[in-house]
Chain A
């Protein structure tokens, strides 16, 4: 007797069964990779933006004062609401994609092409580290691992890439390649620690990666104060400047912030896509993610796969760190800012991208746009950039719970939970 009968959906043997007892890991990977229609994703984004709008409007003193006498002049209140939201989101759009006013100014000859393309270039530049770190989380997800440690891997990757960038002399091209490779290695080492600990001692990667994040953050603070890193003559924590040979080249001239980092991100995504679908290692990691016991029984080394996956994942996050440090966006230096919120954002990117390379690229672009636009939004409307963080978190919450979204929009197929929402994995698993 197996559990086949006690699991009602598998009641009769001759009939196809719907996975009478899916392993928990399989459930996780399934739910992240499949499970969602494009519709739900779009609705989730819309819903999150709507809630963001409410947050913006109802923390706006101008709107609140109008709502103070809502019943006396409801239209006033609604107008104030509308203008508050449209101002903020309008600025967000102008800062992320394109500003219609610059387009018309360009047509009239008052603005340069650079000014027209500046916002979209900023979006692409912001998207690059998000995509890289998102790929890191995605690839770990596919092997059934939570890489909460992208943050730490970004830091160690950035530290090594930056060091190689300013401490050594190498010819053009080669120096850049070495520095970028340093980013990969720095992150990979940090990721590998967590993978190896899981493989050898069973330490849960969620805990170890979280702890490694904080260790990396302290390491960053420490190193930035040492003579090897600290920029001479500076009191605050800032590193020496990366030599020109190791800088990521600008792609669209000096006036636009777009550099080679975005190419690195795209190449990494392509490599991940190949790795996952066309390599034996990809087969192995998906098998381990789908059913680690079966993978082990079929002769795969589950521990070895964990270590290697975390190494690759760490490397990708390290590339994100390298891409930041070697980029114009940080003025080619390492600061405490390397310990930003890239780690948590990478998780949201990977989830929105359903742990697939193409999806991760698209999600990275979306969050890059939100990030780029939020700066303009804050400058123009004094709406804090953090509303974007809230929106990102809400998007992921909604896409993780399709029944909720379907319920709100009264779509069919709504049910409580089920396979598409079920993501399960405990400390013991």
Chain B
């Protein structure tokens, strides 16, 4: 401590807690490593093995990837010790290094792998990792789109708790329009489906417009507003479902959906191909939007201005940027993303709309925004983690679980809780996020 010179700048750069982020991650690595060693490794009889399939179910062509047979006891012990070492190395090094991301990724992957091996240990059924990975991707799609809605909105300085509501109205409008344009018992035209997507986007955009008007023009507290709009969206879709959709289910709620689309070539890549490039159009749309939003925010004039408005609206105003208009645009743009995200629940999955079909995914998307530091890339990885927890809960249910599925269902929320408690103190939201702007 005394080594620090007095000449260090007096202007505080970033507020940080007592532990640096690196150290926190390192400690988490140590804890996970210990868990792996003690819980999964030591207590497992040494003769048991786990079968982990690395080939998508029903995949016959292409490269043949054999099913992994893993000795659980040994694998978990080795991985656990490695994780503890990696974590220790990270925790004792207070400075950020390039290896941080790699170490963290290793710890996470090792933990998931050890957990899966343990979960499948001694079972006759193989656990299909490729199917699980693809499932995680697909389940992450609405979370990513919802998170993009949050990012677009919050980067401009408006808190978006209403992602849930935007997803819900998107799901409803998408199902209804796509169904209405499809004659019962006829094959669905892609025009109908695309108009469904458009309707979903518009519905999300309309709810976002409400958010924008009340937050920006009437300066209503944005957290309250978000919660109330979610209640509103839930009430409205429930009402319309009972009153309009259900009575005409055969024409308004047919469960139409986009077909699956494997990307030729890319989907042939062993292991990764079927995980990343096997899904319907929403998956690819999400990849596209992720890149567009990332590049847009950090590489273009538009993004610079949106971020300026979200960080310091008065400063933006004084250089001639129209603060309120920028915020309206960003909030509504976000609503469009979330609306599309909502459509993935219905026409994206080819299922009928049901009451509260999004069941809180919007809140998870919000968590992904914060977990991902208000960055598209961060939100993508956060959404992927949540998607994986989600898919594992059901996959493990199939092979006969050793953990109650309710605890797995809790996992994303607990992970977020720990992350928020451990990290948000050091993660910085856009400077003016949630603060209404008023000209004097």
Instruction: Let me know if chains A and B touch directly in the complex, using CB atoms closer than 8 Å.
Output: yes
Interface residues of A (CB under 8 A from B): 7-8, 24, 28, 31, 55, 59-61, 146, 148, 197, 201-204, 206-208, 210-212, 214-215, 218-219, 221-222, 225, 341, 344-345, 347-348, 351, 383-384, 386-390, 392-394, 396-397, 400-401, 403-404, 416-418, 421-429
Contact string, B410-440, partner A, CB cutoff 8 A, digits 1/0? 1001101100111011001101111110101
A355 to chain B, nearest CB (A): 11
Given contacts A215-B417, A417-B219, A426-B434, contact A207 B422 (CB under 8 A): no
Given contacts A202-B425, A208-B421, A222-B404, contact A427 B159 (CB under 8 A): yes
Contact in complex: A401, B214 (CB < 8 Å): yes
- Within 8 Å of chain A (Cβ to Cβ): is B59? no
Contact in complex: B240, A59 (CB < 8 Å): yes
Contact in complex: B235, A347 (CB < 8 Å): no
Bound complex: CA of A425 vs CA of B433, how far in Å?
8
Contact in complex: A387, B421 (CB < 8 Å): no
Bound complex: CA of A344 vs CA of B416, how far in Å?
21
How many chain B residues sit at the interface, stated as a range, is: 35 or more
In this complex, what residue of A is CB-closest to B165? Answer: A393
In this complex, what residue of A is CB-closest to B233? Answer: A393
Contact in complex: A201, B425 (CB < 8 Å): yes
Kindly identify which residue among B17, B409, B410, B434 contacts A424, using a CB–CB cutoff of 8 Å. Answer: B434
A210 to chain B, nearest CB (A): 5
Contact in complex: A59, B244 (CB < 8 Å): yes
The 21 sampled A-B contact pairs (Cβ below 8 Å) are A55-B239, A197-B421, A201-B421, A203-B417, A203-B421, A207-B424, A210-B363, A214-B413, A348-B231, A386-B242, A387-B235, A396-B228, A397-B225, A400-B214, A421-B218, A424-B434, A426-B429, A427-B159, A428-B428, A428-B433, A429-B434
A45 to chain B, nearest CB (A): 15
Given contacts A203-B420, A417-B436, contact A384 B239 (CB under 8 A): yes
User: 5 tightest A-B contacts by CB?
Assistant: A389-B235, A423-B221, A426-B434, A401-B218, A393-B232
- Within 8 Å of chain A (Cβ to Cβ): is B161? yes
- Within 8 Å of chain A (Cβ to Cβ): is B36? no
Given contacts A148-B223, A347-B227, A393-B228, 7 further A-B contacts (CB under 8 A): A207-B424, A390-B232, A400-B220, A418-B219, A426-B432, A426-B433, A427-B433
- Within 8 Å of chain A (Cβ to Cβ): is B367? yes
Contact in complex: A425, B239 (CB < 8 Å): no
Bound complex: CA of A27 vs CA of B63, how far in Å?
63
Given contacts A389-B235, A428-B431, contact A211 B367 (CB under 8 A): yes
Bound complex: CA of A331 vs CA of B416, how far in Å?
36
A382 to chain B, nearest CB (A): 8
- Within 8 Å of chain A (Cβ to Cβ): is B236? yes
Contact in complex: A215, B413 (CB < 8 Å): yes
- The number of inter-chain residue pairs (CB within 8 angstroms) is 192
Contact in complex: B238, A211 (CB < 8 Å): no
Interface residues of B (CB under 8 A from A): 17, 154, 159, 161, 214, 217-221, 223-225, 227-232, 234-236, 238-240, 242-244, 247, 360, 363, 366-367, 370, 404, 406-407, 409-410, 413-414, 416-417, 420-422, 424-425, 428-429, 431-436, 438, 440
Contact in complex: A146, B224 (CB < 8 Å): yes
Contact in complex: B230, A344 (CB < 8 Å): yes
Q: DSSP class of B's interface residues: helix, strand, loop or mixed?
A: helix
A352 to chain B, nearest CB (A): 11
Contact in complex: A386, B235 (CB < 8 Å): yes
Contact in complex: A426, B435 (CB < 8 Å): yes
Kindly identify which residue among B236, B244, B406 contacts A390, using a CB–CB cutoff of 8 Å. Answer: B236
| Inter-chain contacts of B225 with A (CB < 8 A) | 397, 400
| Inter-chain contacts of A426 with B (CB < 8 A) | 159, 429, 432-435
| Inter-chain contacts of A344 with B (CB < 8 A) | 227, 230-231, 234
A361 to chain B, nearest CB (A): 20
| Inter-chain contacts of B223 with A (CB < 8 A) | 146, 148, 206, 425
